[in-house]
Chain A
Amino acid sequence: MSEISVTGKIARSGATRRETPEERQRKATIQISAGVLLIAAIVAVAFYSQGANPKGAYIWIIGIGLGYVLQRSRFCFTASLRDPILTGSTTLTKAVIIALALSSVAYAALQIKATGMNLETLEVAKLPGWIRDVGIHTVIGGFLFGIGAVLAGGCASGTLMRMGEGFAQQWLSFVFFVVGSVIGSVLLPLMQAAGLYRKGAVYLPQFFGGWVPALIVQFALLATLYVLADWYGKKKSGEL
C-alpha cells in the first residue's frame, strides 16, 4: 500500500533520508525566505491583474487563498470518495459533506436575495451557482471523471494543488487533463447529435415547488450521507 504515492497524504508521510539538524535548518531558512519573496511576487501580480481585469486582484487573492487552504488542510475531493473504499476512512468524506451543507446555506441566501421567493418567473442561468443541464451526459461524464481522478491521484483542484506542492506526476496528468478537455469539447456536440445529451437544468426549488421542500430534501439527504459516512468509518475502524 505504501506505493500509493499518488495520494499526497501517504506520500508526504513517507520517510526520507535522515538529514542532519543543520541541513534541515538551512533548507528551512531558504524555503521560508523564498516564501516571503513569493508573497511579494503575489502582491505584484495582484496589482498587475487589477489593471487587466476590473476584479482581477480580488479573484487572484481568493485563488491564492483557495490553494493555501487546500494545501494546509490536505483537502482532496478525490480522496473523500476513494478513501472509504481503499482504506475505510471517512473523515475527509464527512468534511466534504460539511462543506456542501455550509455552501447550501450560503447559496440559499444568495439565491433568495437575487430572485426573491418567486420561483415562477426566474431565469435559472442567472442564479448564483452553476445550475446546468442534467441528463445521461452528466452520468457518463461523472463516471469517467471519478475513474480518472482516482487514477491520477487528484481531482481538478487537487491536481492544481499538488502541482504547487511539487508532484511531477500531477504536472503530467495536468497536461493530459488539458488534452482530454479538448477531446471532451469536441465530443460534446457529437454526443448531442447522438441523443446522449439532455437539454434542461433541474433547479430543485422549482422542481419541488418551493423553497421549503427543497431545503428539507437537500439537508435531509446531506444529513443522511453524513450519518452513513460516520457509521461506515466507525465500522471500518472497528469502533462499532
Chain B
Amino acid sequence: MDEKKNYPFHELYLKREWSYTTGAVLLTLLAIALVIVTGKAWGVTGSFGMWGGWFLNLFGANVDAWDGFKGTPVSTYNFWMDNTAITDLGIVIGAFLAVLLAAQFKIKKIKNGRQVVAAVIGGLLMGIGARLSLGCNIGALFSGLPAFSLHGWVFFVCIFIGAAVGSQFLKKYFI
C-alpha cells in the first residue's frame, strides 16, 4: 500500500521534514517576534538554575541566601511570570506536537550504561558552562552574537573548540 499516494496532505504538510534553511528562517522570525512582544531576547537555560533552586527550597534549603541566587529569589518564583520558562515548556510541547502530527512519536529508551554516563556528564557540563558564560547556545550564541555582543562571538569560538574536544571523547569512549 502506498501511503504517500493515499494521504498526500499528511505527507506534504505534516510528515515531510523541512530543510535546515527553512528552519533557520523560521527560527529567526520567531526569535525576533519574541523580542518584539516581550522586549527581551530568547533564552533557554536562565530558568534551569531557578528550577533547581526552587526544588532545593522545597526541601528546606535556604537557597535565597546563597550568593549565586541573590537578586533572583527562588522562594517567590512564579513559572508563568518567567518568559524563558514558558518558551522552554513550549519547545518540549511544540516538538511533541510535531512528532505526533507526523505520526512519528516513539519513546526511545536508553540503550546502555554509556548513554547514561554521557547524559549525566554532558548535562552537568552544559549546566555549569551555561551559568559561567551567562548563556547557552541560545542566550549567548543565538541572542548574543547577532545582537553585536562580543560575548556571543567568544562563546561561538569556545563552544566550537569544546565541541571538537567533546567529539574526540565521544569517538573514544561512547561509540
Residues from chain A with a CB closer than 8 A to the CB of B100 are: 31-32, 34-35, 38
Cβ distance A147 to chain B, nearest Cβ, rounded Å: 4
A149-175 residues at the B interface, CB under 8 angstroms = 149-153, 155-157, 159-170, 172-175
- Whether A177 contacts B170 by the Cβ 8 Å rule is no
- Whether B28 contacts A178 by the Cβ 8 Å rule is no
Q: A68-B95, A164-B94, A187-B68 are in contact. Are A146 and B166 (CB under 8 A)?
A: yes
Partner of B149, one of A67, A74, A132: A132
Q: Per-residue 0/1 for A91-124: is the Cβ within 8 Å of any B Cβ (1 yes, 0 no)?
A: 1101110111111101110110000000000000
- Whether B127 contacts A91 by the Cβ 8 Å rule is no
- Whether B92 contacts A131 by the Cβ 8 Å rule is no
Q: A53-B80, A56-B86 are in contact. Are A147 and B44 (CB under 8 A)?
A: no
Partner of B111, one of A5, A94, A183, A214: A5
Residues from chain B with a CB closer than 8 A to the CB of A130 are: 41, 43, 134-135, 139-140, 143-144, 147, 149, 151-152
- Whether A184 contacts B94 by the Cβ 8 Å rule is no
- Whether A137 contacts B132 by the Cβ 8 Å rule is yes
In chain A, what residue has the closest Cβ to B20?
Answer: A95
A interface SS class: helix
Question: B4 in the interface, Cβ–Cβ < 8 Å?
Answer: no
B66-87 residues at the A interface, CB under 8 angstroms = 66-69, 78, 80-81, 83, 86-87
- Whether B81 contacts A52 by the Cβ 8 Å rule is yes
Q: A134-B149, A160-B88 are in contact. Are A110 and B35 (CB under 8 A)?
A: yes
In chain B, what residue has the closest Cβ to A73?
Answer: B23
Question: A212 in the interface, Cβ–Cβ < 8 Å?
Answer: no
Count: A-B pairs, CB below 8 Å? 554
Cβ distance A159 to chain B, nearest Cβ, rounded Å: 8
Number of B residues, CB within 8 Å of A: 130
Residues from chain A with a CB closer than 8 A to the CB of B43 are: 130
Question: A128 in the interface, Cβ–Cβ < 8 Å?
Answer: yes
Question: A240 in the interface, Cβ–Cβ < 8 Å?
Answer: no
Question: A185 in the interface, Cβ–Cβ < 8 Å?
Answer: yes
- Whether B148 contacts A205 by the Cβ 8 Å rule is yes
Question: B133 in the interface, Cβ–Cβ < 8 Å?
Answer: yes
- Whether B98 contacts A71 by the Cβ 8 Å rule is yes
Q: A91 CA to B21 CA in the complex, in Å?
A: 9
Q: A130-B147, A166-B106 are in contact. Are A149 and B163 (CB under 8 A)?
A: yes
Residues from chain B with a CB closer than 8 A to the CB of A18 are: none
On B, residues with C-beta under 8 Å from A are 1, 3, 10, 14, 17-28, 30-45, 48-49, 51-53, 55-56, 66-69, 78, 80-81, 83, 86-111, 115-116, 118-167, 169-171, 174-175
